[in-house]
Each structure stands twice: as structure tokens, then as C-alpha cells.
Amino acid sequence: MDRTKVIRSGILMLLAFFASFTVSSQDLTPGEPGQELREIAKEATARWNMELSLTTKQARLIEKKILEFEMKKEEIMNSKMNEEAKKARLTALQTRESSEFRNILTKPQFEKYLEVQSRKLRPSEKENKKG
């Protein structure tokens, strides 16, 4: 009987050890952003703050939205769908992100946001002159 208790406690200890090892080896739970994405969101928010003069509340909300959409972008990029489907999903995601920003920004800020976004998406004039 003592031998059975020793074996049971040994097995339980091994299970506890492996369970704790497995939990500690996982960096993130699904749906939780990593440090790199948090930095991307923080830097993007700082850039938007410079462009749009965000309030503290707006900056907090924008950073949260950027983080949310960066996670979704990463999920799409890491998916096994073909490139055309990825491009379509990313375009739709960008549209949704702009819509979410519209709810956070004032009308003049949102107009400036759209202006900056269109500049980012347009090829530079230097590239056009090369052709």
C-alpha cells in the first residue's frame, strides 16, 4: 500500500511538472498580442498623435484599435489562404479600421487621417518619373 502511494505521488508530481512546463513555455494565449505588436501599436499611435493632435482618451482608443487590427493583419498574413484572398481580406480590414477611427476622431481629424492615408498609399513621384 505504501508503494502504491509513492507511485501515485510520483506520477502526480511528474504530471504537475509537465503541466507547469507546458504552461510556462507558451508565450501567449490565443488572442493576446505579443510585445512586438504592442510596440508597433505604440509607435503608430505616436505618429498619429503628431499628425492629428489626439487627446489622451483618443490616443488610448486609437492604440487599442491599432493593436486589435495589427493582430488581425498578422492572423491573415500567417493564414494559408492564397495571396489574392489575403489582399482582399487586408483591404477589407483597412476599410473597417478607418471606419473604427471615424468613431474616435473628430471630423477635421478624420479628414486629415484620410489625407495622410492616401499619401501613404500613393506611389511617390520619384517612382513615377523612373518609368
Q: Which helix (H) or strand (E) holds 116?
A: helix 107-121
Query: Does residue 15 belong to any structural domain of this protein?
Result: no
Residue from 120, 100, 121, 102 nearest 110 by CA: 102
Query: Does residue 16 belong to any structural domain of this protein?
Result: no
pTM given for the model? 0.66
Query: Does residue 86 belong to any structural domain of this protein?
Result: yes
**Which pLDDT value is given to residue 24?**
37
**Which pLDDT value is given to residue 26?**
39
Cα R_g (the chain), whole angstroms: 24
Query: Does residue 7 belong to any structural domain of this protein?
Result: no
Query: How many structural domains are present in the chain?
Result: 1
Query: Does residue 6 belong to any structural domain of this protein?
Result: no
Q: Which residues contact 7 (CB under 8 A, 6 or more apart)?
A: none
Any idea which residue has 493632435 for its cell? 53
**Which pLDDT value is given to residue 11?**
64
Residue from 36, 33, 108, 106 nearest 68 by CA: 33
**Which pLDDT value is given to residue 101?**
97
**Residue 88, domain extent:** 35-122
- Encode pLDDT of 100-113 as tens digits: 999 999 999 999 99
Query: Does residue 57 belong to any structural domain of this protein?
Result: yes
Query: Does residue 49 belong to any structural domain of this protein?
Result: yes
Query: Does residue 108 belong to any structural domain of this protein?
Result: yes
Q: CA torsion 108→109→110→114, rounded to 10°?
A: 100
**Which pLDDT value is given to residue 12?**
55
> Which regions of the chain are under pLDDT 50?
20-29, 125-126, 128-131
